[in-house]
Amino acid sequence: MIAQLFGAIFGMLAVIFGAFGAHALKKRFTEDQQKSFETGVKYQMYHAIVLLIIGEIFKAPTTVYNSIVVLFVLGTVLFSFSIYGLCLSAASGKKMKFLGPVTPLGGLLLTIGWALLIFHFVAIL
């Protein structure tokens, strides 16, 4: 399923980005940039795992499944990848400030995805 594919991709990239941030970028980042970068990696990994689980919970694609997957995938990309862009660009002295509002938009999509998942579980009780 598509959720599991994105979960696997996000999981692999989280490991790569986490190692890259912890080793290659450690000397270039301020402490705040390091923490922000790690937050992006954590949220990416959390949602990678959730996408893998969702692929198991929903045996057949439904509207709710498709909506949750889209929200988690887009939310993860907007949230985590905007943080990566902000940190990397700030470390190079050319901060891409336009990414600042993208991060909370990604967080909002993730929150809506979680709310929809809660709604699904309540509906099947």
pLDDT digits (tens, 9 = 90+) for 75-94: 999 999 999 999 999 999 99
Domain-located, residue 26: yes
Residue 61 included in any domain: yes
- Per-residue pLDDT, averaged over 90-109, amounts to 96
Sign of CA dihedral 86, 87, 88, 93: positive
**Tens of pLDDT along 5-43?**
999 999 999 999 999 999 989 889 999 999 999 999 999
* Assigned domain for 102 exists: yes
What is the Rg, in whole angstroms, of the alpha carbon atoms belonging to the chain?
A: 16
Contacts (Cβ under 8 Å, ≥6 apart) of 58: 1, 3, 64, 65
Q: What is the pTM of this model?
A: 0.94
Is 80 in contact with 43 (CB distance < 8 Å)?
Answer: yes
Mean pLDDT of 100-106: 98
Q: Looking at the domain assignment, is residue 125 inside a domain?
A: no
Number of domains into which the chain is organized: 1
Cα separation of 43 and 75, whole Å?
10
Q: What is the mean pLDDT of residues 102-118?
A: 98
User: d(Cα 51, Cα 47) in Å, to the nearest integer?
Assistant: 6
For the chain, give the longest Cα–Cα distance. 52
First to last CA, the chain: 24
Q: Which domain holds residue 99?
A: 2-119
